[in-house]
Structure 1
Amino acid sequence: MINLLDLTYDELEAFVVEDLKQPRFRVDQLFQWLWQKGVRDFSDMTNMGKALREKMAGIATITWPGIAKVQESRDGTVKLLLRLHDGKLIETVLIPFKDRFSQCLSTQVGCAMGCKFCNTGLLGFERNLTMGEILGQVLVGRKFLLDKGVGGPDGPSPIRNLVYMGMGEPLLNLDNLLRSLETLPRENGLSISWRRSMVSTVGFPEQLRILGKTELALPAISLHAPTQELRAQIMPKAARVPLDELMQCLAEFPLRPRERITFEYLLLGGVNDSLNHADQLAKLVDKNRVKVNLIAYNATEGMPFSAPDRDQVEAFEKRLWHHGVTAFIRRSMGADIKAACGQLKADEQ
């Protein structure tokens, strides 16, 4: 049976009109039940007749990921280990900011990129997530927060921003990524604006051009090295795309006024955190089109990297400022629960 969460609005319309032989106004009703009201049982769709509800239940499902494990940090960060219909495990993270949360979404079970500093890369790639499994994380996260009293059932969603920065490489699941981004902003659904969605990627020029043409989200580039040689050492598969080719693609990425492309730069102690590296990074990026998020690596058991010195992190930031590059040290959240994706799944396995 088909999971209705895997259908875009247009596909849901075809299901209602062609398969159910129902009038088109039922499409908005059904879409609202699925995404805005978060209903999982057809019998709860009270503005639809009993015969129609029974017919839908006979040919379709509403399947959410299930919560297998929860970890909550002292700072309010929540990590959810989710079990999919086939038993596969993924992770999603809820990050508090003032009275709302940002959510980090996974797009694949595992990851094929094999970056040397990433726990998910150690797990390997298993499969892509469907649209319903990607956006199902938002439904689960929203209900988890509402059950804890964060936000109200009739008020705005407690989840304000989405970052496709969980397990997997989003651009290698491009079709389902775009389907999810297309579904997000509909007002009778999750109603999350494209302005509040960001796609984290190591950078694939062809897929970035497609994303740019859709204007559905801005990219955050997982750079982590200012030279081709260093990137090849710590991100060997990502580095198969030459840096100059990636930078040329990003120079052509369409931006609206005041928009910038984000570069994520994970500072690894003694590896990529020197002032010389900062100088190389400033030379590499277009300071008029980008901003740089600096992330201090948290040392992880079994990984061959150490955390950078705090003074070095601040000196790196100031060096970028000196070159006119907009840079910020990203606040570390959830360190006490190992909030970086892949760790909880690895522990569970």
Structure 2
Amino acid sequence: MRWRSRFGPAWRARRRQRASGCRDPGFLRTERSRGWSGSLPSPHDPWCRERTMPLPSPLLAAAPSAPPAAEPDAPRFQQNWVRAVAAFGEDLARGGYSSYTLRDYRTDVMRLGLYLDIAPESVGEEHLAQMEVFLAMEGLGQQARRRRTSAYRKFLDWRNGRLLRDPVAPRVLRASDVLPWCDRVLIGLVYLAGLRLVEIAVLEGRDLKRRKGVVTTRYGQRHVPLHPRMIGLLNELKTSGSLAPYAPLIPGPQGFPVNARTLHSRFHRLMHRVDCVGTKPEDLRRDAAIALAHMNTPDGLIKAFLCKDKGRITAPRKGRMVDLECLRDRIGKLPM
């Protein structure tokens, strides 16, 4: 039989209780939660009965209770910031921004108000420059600084009434009819299929199923239905021999694959050619998200369409790929 010392965890727990003069019966349970795995003291122990006996109810009723601490009222400017951030988030939600972007923008703008300690109506360009210097001194990474600066700029544009704009994607799509086929495919995949440039850069001819009308993005792991305009364009490319199975869909000048950075520069030059300076790929994708939201599309399907579901199951799946066949009719109704 294993020898057990009487000066074990239970004895040490009683010793701490005796030294503290605690009458709480839950003291030993607290000690058990701290890692004591032994047995509770016997209720026949007179010291245990004396020390763990609960207080009579009259004494508990007569015991003075501390009044609840009154929470100080929040300053007036802080309440104004809360209301301003809530209205800012509502307008962004109507603008097609994802829930993750809304969460980050609300947090960053609220930090801006707590740091500046002024009313939201008083924020100006000089305060944003001050925050940029502060973020650089704080030691944040470049991506975090860009996101927070973007949130501050977006809030300033919203406050000055420059946030709401007309959809630019239909105008870009109509102006792209005079461009070469590679540029038309690029703009069409960004707007009509919701693809990111990093996904388009690795697309090959075999990823486009013309008969099924589906594009498979191996990088984003999803099947996206193609718009009838894109199907007609791909049929023309197949007839002319410009679409090869294992060749890059949008090749570089010498026929080799390009990376996402090169496609960003190419898209920037295209926007200059169609007289839409300053338009970004995310603007076209956001216009598609707004149009889908107006068709009462569930938020989870919109996130999957934009590849912003972050691996969560928000849309039907076929194996390991997200299958968006249920969006075919809605994608065919996107404004052009």
- Shorter-chain TM band: under 0.3
**Scaled by the length of structure 2, what TM-score is found?**
0.25
Q: Specify which structure has the higher proportion of helix.
A: 2
The structure with the largest alpha-carbon Rg is 2
